[in-house]
Structure 1
């Protein structure tokens, strides 16, 4: 069995789970390929595999706008297998159900669906570094076990679906997510750049939707912004600010998932090197 695992990640949690899935499936004899959603969107190329995996962080109880765009570019599934997983800091709502419905509408047979509650990387800033490191290690130890079990179920052919109730799906992933999708075109107005910026191009290269201009001081963030805050996380001078969340820039800057950058734009790796 060959599987292509497509993921979108802001600060690295979904990227980490994608690689955990891939490694575990390989132990069962599967061939796996891990691909960033934005890379697929930019290239327009879709690996021809027996199984499709889609992973994403939960935004407003649904998938990010960039993931929704990716789903719309998928070719017909023609009965191919698919599995879906989501990563959230709290309530998931019906996020996975939205993606499952889209995949099934395109002819994919969704056989596995899972959501993982992963404290956001921002969360760890509220504790002392040593305390946060131990708590994060414990949390990921638990999540690694859950992902391993999910991958084993998938490899064994076990069907696992988690349909949300009408309240979660309607009020949360229906109302909130639709609001996010409609108002998303204005998300860029909440991203600002201070005079500390020295146009290095890292934020523009890392932006999954090319919404960040190469010289951000002279131009506004584009309407394609998905509000993943990757630009604020990556800036080595902490010059990118989030107007909705004062003071969060320095927090984001310190909490990218270690190693994040292998399958996303090269700027992510460049920024990690500059911070060390």
Structure 2
């Protein structure tokens, strides 16, 4: 088995690693940003794909990756892991259906509740101990799912027509445009920016550059919140007006 993932603040990477540790300790997981990943995927029949749900939908970067490599998916047996801050009816199902269109066989799905990664909104913020418990429970659930998958009874979270309706009417129908395109709404306060370049270094879209000692953003943000959770000056925002909490996974381990 080979693991592939997209992870903003570390949630989805953590969960796929916990799954693979139990399923096959020799199996490796790679970010979809790695250039050599498509070649590795061609060498494996079984895949597990982990990613964060955004507004009950796929991050744009994940959708583009799937479309760009559509020839690889045919005949692959794929288990889908979706991480989320709140309930998502078909978080795993939205990717499962897309992969099935390209000939993949979906073996199951897993929903894992993790700390919210939206750093500039108060709505889903929890005490740090509660987030630590979420992470611990997600790790246990991922390991249990791996054991059941190995036995031939993988979980089916988010798979099926009722889950599809729950996801559609839960958020996706109302917020579809949030993830349909990359966004140009990332804001960097130039008066606070020190030009350290940490945001540019972690951006998966190469959407941030440092010019004349200050970071500048473009119009290709995939809303992963890496830069916002990394900035030492907390001078980057996206959905909100100020950073409430920097939500990197290591805070909760």
- SS of 2:166 mapped into structure 1: helix
CA-to-partner distance for each residue in 1:178-234, whole Å, 9 max, x for gaps? 32233x33x222422332222222111100111112339767522221111211111
CA contact (8 A) 1:58 1:86 kept: yes
Counterpart pick for 2:145 among 124, 145, 150:
150
Counterpart pick for 2:11 among 10, 13, 26:
13
Q: What is the CA-CA distance between 1:51 and the residue it aligns to?
A: 1.0
Aligned alpha-carbon RMSD (Å): 2.7
- TM-score, with structure 1 as normaliser: 0.77
For 1:82, the equivalent position in structure 2 comes to 78
CA contact (8 A) 1:76 1:107 kept: no
> More relative contact order in 1 or in 2 (CA 8 Å, sep 6+)?
2
Over 3 Å counting, the alpha-carbon distance change for 1:177 and 1:34 in structure 2 is: farther
- SS of 2:195 mapped into structure 1: coil
Over 3 Å counting, the alpha-carbon distance change for 1:173 and 1:110 in structure 2 is: farther
Instruction: Confirm whether residue 110 of structure 1 aligns to residue 106 of structure 2.
Output: yes
For 2:184, the equivalent position in structure 1 comes to 188
Over 3 Å counting, the alpha-carbon distance change for 1:229 and 1:178 in structure 2 is: same
- SS of 1:14 mapped into structure 2: helix
Q: What is the CA-CA distance between 1:169 and the residue it aligns to?
A: 4.0
For 1:95, the equivalent position in structure 2 comes to 91
For 1:273, the equivalent position in structure 2 comes to none
For 1:251, the equivalent position in structure 2 comes to 245
| Greater share of helix | 1
CA contact (8 A) 1:93 1:173 kept: no
CA contact (8 A) 1:201 1:214 kept: yes
- SS of 1:114 mapped into structure 2: strand
- SS of 1:22 mapped into structure 2: helix
Alignment of 1:1-276 (within 5 A): 3-27=1-25, 31-40=26-35, 43=36, 45-47=38-40, 48-74=43-69, 75-120=71-116, 127=127, 132-133=128-129, 135-161=130-156, 162-165=159-162, 167-172=165-170, 174-176=172-174, 178-182=176-180, 184-185=181-182, 187-215=183-211, 220-242=216-238, 244-248=239-243, 251-252=245-246, 255-258=247-250
CA contact (8 A) 1:12 1:257 kept: yes
Counterpart CA distance in 2 for 1:137 and 1:94 is 25
Q: What is the CA-CA distance between 1:117 and the residue it aligns to?
A: 1.6
Count residues in correspondence.
Answer: 242
CA-to-partner distance for each residue in 1:87-132, whole Å, 9 max, x for gaps? 11112132211100111122211101111122325589653xxxx2
- Structure 1 segments unaligned to the other structure (5+ residues): 261-276
